[in-house]
Amino acid sequence: MTITIDLSANSSGNGVDLQGVFDDFNANFSLGSGNHGSFFNGALPGGFGGTQYYAADMDSGSSYTGGVLATAGTSNFAYDLSTHTITGDLDGFSFGSTLGYDSGAGQYEFTDSSVDISGLGISGSDTNSVLTGIYTGSTTTLESVFDSQGVAINGSTGNDTIGGWAGDDVLTGNGGADTFEFDTSGNFGDDTVTDFTDGTDLLDIDFNSVTVASANGGADTLITHANGTITLTGVDFNDIDATDFV
């Protein structure tokens, strides 16, 4: 199963800075003293387990004022009082502020979610590791899963900033003028941008550090860096120059 990250523009049409959401969460999310979040089992409180786990930021003075909602896979979440660990399968996360119940889906969701993650396929001790990280305000363990598997990121209708991880990622901007980021401090994998628009979208990577060539019989453009490659599907390499880079 492919890990998928879907971005949603806000009510004003503003796009999403994906890594910015994670950075803000890591720097500012706090459950607060004595708060342990809550489990849901459908529309009902879940006690020590359930189909979903919800944690809301309790630090009103920080820039991060939302919450995070985890959804189980085949096996529900269960908190073990003796070992203080969470078991079960972990399928996805949502980041947002306004929590509501979707009776059709039989679960809670954020009505204003900016980032929705699905297809994680995490189980066993990895479920506890990732959820514990989120509980303590860190996406580090979650992002290590992205590093190992690669992700498909679908942008919003707004102007997004979309960056992948160390795996082979597939980036789709959808609408708006999008910026695709590549972390060249380490291996960023062999990434694909499916809908790059010359003159509208931008590549956040040093133009002087890459080579640009034709690929797949001229149908695509291949951008090569010492730490990875970027394929722009359906783009003529003759159209790509320094003006397409940040």
Q: What is the pLDDT of residues 111-168, one digit of tens each?
A: 999 999 999 999 999 999 999 999 889 999 999 999 999 999 999 999 999 999 999 9
Flag whether 100 is in a domain: yes
Flag whether 186 is in a domain: no
b/e per residue, 206-216, with b = 16+ CB within 10 A?
Answer: eeeebebeebe
Residue listed under structure tokens 């980041």:
95
Flag whether 201 is in a domain: no
Flag whether 97 is in a domain: yes
Q: From CA 218, how far away is CA 170, in angstroms rounded? A: 20
Q: How far is CA 221 from the centre of its chain?
A: 25
Domain count for the chain, please give it: 1
Q: Given a cut of 80, is residue 33 above it in pLDDT?
A: no
Contacts of 241 (CB under 8 A, 6+ apart): none
Flag whether 19 is in a domain: yes
Flag whether 51 is in a domain: yes
Contacts of 145 (CB under 8 A, 6+ apart): 3, 120, 122, 126, 130
Please tell me which of 30-34, 47-51, 232-236 the model is most confident about, judged by mean pLDDT. 232-236
The domain of 53 spans 3-181
Q: Give SS3 for 235.
A: coil
Flag whether 200 is in a domain: no
Q: Quote the pLDDT of residue 199.
A: 96
Here the CATH number for the domain that contains residue 161 is 3.30.1500.10
Q: Given a cut of 80, is residue 61 above it in pLDDT?
A: no
b/e per residue, 220-229, with b = 16+ CB within 10 A?
Answer: bbbbbbebbb
Flag whether 36 is in a domain: yes
